[in-house]
Chain A
Amino acid sequence: MATPGHHTLSVLVENRPGVLSRVSGLFSRRGFNIDSLAVGPTERADRSVITIRVDCTRHSVEQVVKQLDKLIDVIRVLEVHPDMAIERELLLIKVQADATHRLEIMRMAEVFNARVVDAGADSLLLECVEHPDRLAALEELLAPYTIVEAVRTGRVAMTRASVANDEGRAPLRILG
């Protein structure tokens, strides 16, 4: 569930040098707060998508969108409504797991569709691609076992296939 004041923006940009600095620079200059930011290529080599989770408690999301839209390299800004979109994020997490807890952790991972991608003598490395809220829940459950290290990619989002693709919702594919 989206917290009030938080919005996910899918920003289609020209894949030019400096475009990421222009976008992130705009956020710092205008005092907009970024929760997370993910950037990657699209189905077209000359386009990228920057998915930004923005905290709009101080500024209206309309103002953020309009300022982004003024950047010449920004082709289109979509606000992705959670109920009309699929949102995903990748989590890599290393948890202390000695023999007594190993199975327990692996069972829990299964519930969250997480995979064990590496194992050491006393730790497990899990990967999980899920909705960001589910990742937070997983982290919370793993916390008692001592999290050695965790890293998340930031969310990416796409409007559902069942939502009609009109001009305002051009097909955005997120790779990698």
Chain B
Amino acid sequence: MSDTNLQKARARKERMLGAEAIIRSLEAEDVTICWGIPGGAILPLYDAFMAIDHSIEHVLVRHEQGAGHMAQGYARATGKVGVCIATSGPGATNLVTPIADAFLDSTPLVAITGQVPTHLIGTDAFQEADITGIVMPIVKHSFLVQKAEDIPKAIHEAFHIASTGRPGPVLVDIPKDLQLTEIDFAYVDTIDLVGYSPEFPRELEGIEAAADLIAHSRKPVLYVGGGVINGEASDDLILLAEAMQVPVTTTLLAKGAFPDSHPLSVQMPGMHGSKYANWTIHRSDLLITVGARFDDRVTGKLDAFAPGAKIIHFDIDPAEVSKNRFADVSLVGELRATLPALRDAVIARKDNAARLEAQGEWLRDVQSWKRDNPFRYKKGDKLKPQYVVEAFDKALKGKDAIWVTGVGQHQMWAAQFLSIDGPRRWLTSGGLGTMGFGVPAAIGAQQGCPDAYVVNFDGDGCFQMTMQELATARCYDVPAIHAVMNNGWLGMVRQWQELFHGERYSETNLFGTIPDFVKLAEAYGVLALRAETEAEVDAVVAEAIAARRPTVIDFRIDEEEKVYPMVPSGAASHEMIDQAWDNEWVEEGV
């Protein structure tokens, strides 16, 4: 927290309502914006928002899920804690999806919910839900505040827990009567959590062992996850990779943590990753894992993942080490400390020049796989989604762009065809795979980074899950562009049905003209565009980027287009199919 806000909070000794204490506590945590919807049990807080002078902008959304994803988009674009607010019962349960999403993608999020008055808890009162119980498996921690005096302490601890160590969501449930209780505000800036000590690094003794494994490796690869972004360690990673001269693969969550345009980048591994990333991992003899967690969408069949590789695992969360794959050497700690330490240790070794020499052939192999097997698609009569992604990528080259997605085919096309060179510029729902993430996350990211160009690649299925937030975009004039890849289907499910379920398209047809997205967008008063040909794409992309106002574009894309390459579920990660080209299993590149 900034010194001035802290001093203000410490100096504040007035009597005030619990509701006002919430606002003063948020101010002390440097919160400048939050998202939510009022309701019965949180009314006193909303009353205080209007009754007192404060420095927090509240954004009124149209569904609490939107508030949660906006706070997430803000948090992931800025690195700050996102804050969302809801009332008890259905308000709180509508936050469950973003809370789960933030948990799986390690996003710092504080959710504040109203609760029925203390004396009604447990009586099945109107709009009562045991929200701390409901979210227990999907939060880093939660508080059900019992005394009004505890409000500042609970909020301070919530921010501390959400933002330190491995970030995650924290819920603070505050009964209505406590919001209406007068207290002597005393901001507690000490932390009293004996069971929580995220101070890192904890271990540096593994560094020498790691350097040793690297020295003896002939085929090392850096396998990089979202932890590098949360740990603000992109620069350290680049220095490490360049010193070591090893290929770098970045997971879906890590896109941008290492520049896509870097010669050492082999981009995304996994189910729809690059052939060269998966082959590199499969052939590797040493996986230097950095803030990644061996997710099944990366590994495919776990037993067959990097079968000949030893594992070095860097993570801030000790529980990730050896969770899915045994780690030969582990380094638990902040990547900003451990990565430079490893770099120093690697460079300091007398045999480093010999290692570089010995690994040269490997690097050349990897680079030839990369050169010969780029992501690609075939043009056809109908508009291809990859062309749309490339058009935006080209148009925003050199500008500060933030890319957001929903979940499904469009998400994978964006991941494959966008070239992103910096952290916090790619916001996607990875772990939970939350359809509907795109629209609100893009709004939140844009509000956190007003000068950036925010583009949400969405699917027509995803878009319809949270499109009511166009009202929020319009009311607050949030100029993010929502590029709807409209193929009229739940496309990724359709792809699986086509490939693995005998083309039985069970309940996946969305009829791409219902609704008419242009008319819908016009109804919300935002810029509404449509494109069906490449020429139209070029024109609408330019128009949308120039407009700097909330925009929806209906891209009518080829419904037959699939995402390739693909590792079928349960297959080994190097066994990819690419039916668009050779209609057969792709063998390894060597």
Contact = CB atoms under 8 A, between A and B. Distances in A.
B161 interface: yes
B194 A21 contact: no
Contacts, number: 41
B322 A72 contact: no
B137 A63 contact: no
A73 interface: yes
Given A18-B144, A63-B323, A71 B136 contact: no
B319 A17 contact: no
Given A21-B133, A22-B136, A14 B317 contact: no
B268 to A, nearest CB: 27
Given A18-B132, A18-B144, A72-B140, A66 B319 contact: yes
A72 B144 contact: no
A147 interface: no
14 contacts: A17-B144, A18-B132, A18-B136, A21-B136, A25-B136, A63-B319, A63-B323, A66-B318, A69-B318, A69-B319, A70-B317, A70-B319, A75-B195, A76-B195
A69 B319 CA distance: 9
B226 to A, nearest CB: 17
A62 to B, nearest CB: 7
B553 to A, nearest CB: 41
A29 interface: yes
A76 B146 CA distance: 25
B319 A67 contact: yes
Q: How large is the interface on A (under 10, 10 to 19, 20 to 34, 35 or more residues)?
A: 20 to 34
Interface of B: 132-133, 136-137, 140-141, 144, 146, 161, 193-196, 317-319, 321-323
A60 interface: yes
A60 B195 contact: no
B454 to A, nearest CB: 33
Given A29-B137, A63-B323, A70-B317, 8 more contacts: A14-B195, A18-B133, A25-B136, A63-B319, A66-B319, A67-B319, A74-B195, A75-B195
Contacts of A13: 195
Contacts of A21: 133, 136
Interface in A77-102: none
Contacts of B322: 60, 62-63
Interface string A117-132: 0000000000000000
Given A21-B133, A66-B318, A71 B144 contact: no
A25 B132 CA distance: 12
A75 B319 CA distance: 16
Nearest to A18: B132
A80 B441 CA distance: 46
Contacts of B193: 72
A64 to B, nearest CB: 10
Contacts of A71: 195
B141 A72 contact: yes
B328 to A, nearest CB: 15
A29 B317 CA distance: 18
Given A63-B319, A63-B322, A63-B323, A72 B195 contact: yes
Contacts of B133: 18, 21
A14 B132 CA distance: 17
Contacts of A62: 322
Contacts of A67: 319
Interface string A9-32: 000011001100110011001000
A112 B141 CA distance: 45
The 5 closest A-B pairs by CB, nearest first: A66-B319, A72-B141, A75-B195, A29-B137, A72-B196
Contacts of A14: 194-195
Contacts of B321: 66
A18 B132 CA distance: 9
A23 to B, nearest CB: 10
Contacts of B318: 66, 69
A103 B161 CA distance: 61
Contacts of A22: 136
Interface in A23-53: 25-26, 29
Contacts of A73: 195
A82 B130 CA distance: 39
A76 B197 CA distance: 11
B528 to A, nearest CB: 44
B558 to A, nearest CB: 41
A75 B196 CA distance: 7
Contacts of B319: 63, 66-67, 69-70
B185 to A, nearest CB: 23
A100 to B, nearest CB: 52
A75 B137 CA distance: 19
Contacts of A70: 317, 319
A70 B318 CA distance: 9
Most chain A Cβ neighbours within 10 Å, of B144, B317, B319 = B319
